[in-house]
Amino acid sequence: MEGTVFTPALQEIEHVKSDQGEILSKPFLDACKHILPRLETMYSSNPSRFNYLYSLVQVEVETKTAKSSSSCTNGLLWLTRAMDFLVALFRNLIEHEDWPMSQACTDSYNKTLKKWHGWLASSSFTVVMKLAPDRKKFMNVIGGTGDINADIEKFCTTFSPLLQEIHKFLARFRLDDMKAS
């Protein structure tokens, strides 16, 4: 792999905002796809209508379908939360080099996803953490030939503001507090 697992995502992030400062759907989804794929179907159904990420949500707000568990809004919310988890995990990996992978994951989960999960999902996460890969092997796999710590830092620094902006947008419509059903 040329560079790290973040290299393609970092290249995509540079093109996420329009000249007017709005988050563009396709570049945002392309950046996420390198880390966690989602929401492509709705965008593909009408690329010109859904050029801006928030237009996916606005259509569902207008049709009162945004709070449905199968809505794109719910998909965007959970994608954003998943990316929050990954950013927190990657930060833990560079800030706490002495932590095993399970500790880095658990801390990230507690900071990001736990409050949105019920008992079953939280219990399942605890079980899954017993299967966490070895930290050194994981870092070697995602590191490729690049400077993994520098790329993680850059990814977290440039991606976090986008996630905060999405949370803020969803909160305006009271859509940022939906729990897992």
Task: Give 122-175 pLDDT, tens digit per residue.
Answer: 888 888 888 888 999 999 888 888 899 999 999 999 999 999 999 999 999 999
What are the tokens at 36? 């966690």
Write down the pTM of the prediction. 0.83
**pLDDT tens digits, residue range 37-53?**
578 888 889 999 999 99
Contacts for 48 with CB less than 8 Å, ≥ 6 apart: none
According to the model, what pLDDT value does residue 181 have? 57
What are the tokens at 38? 């989602």
Q: How far apart are CA 80 and CA 83, in angstroms?
A: 5
Domains, the chain, ordered by start: 5-173 (1.10.3520.10)
For residues 103-113, one letter each, b for 16 or more C-beta atoms within 10 angstroms of the residue's C-beta and e for the rest, the string is: ebbbbbbeebb
More confident position, 158 or 120 = 158
**pLDDT tens digits, residue range 80-90?**
999 999 999 99
**pLDDT tens digits, residue range 60-101?**
999 999 998 888 898 899 899 999 999 999 999 999 999 999
Q: How far apart are CA 58 and CA 66, in angstroms?
A: 8
According to the model, what pLDDT value does residue 37 have? 56
Amino acid at 169: F
H-assigned helices in 46-147: 53-62, 72-95, 101-112, 119-129, 135-143
How many of the other CB atoms lie within 10 Å of CB of 77? 22
Q: Are 90 and 149 in contact (CB under 8 A)?
A: no
**pLDDT tens digits, residue range 19-35?**
999 999 998 888 887 76
Angle formed by the axes of helices 25-33 and 53-62, nearest 10°: 110
Q: How far apart are CA 181 and CA 167, in angstroms?
A: 19
Q: What is the dihedral of CA 89, 93, 96, 97, to 10 degrees?
A: 160
Q: How far apart are CA 92 and CA 99, in angstroms?
A: 8
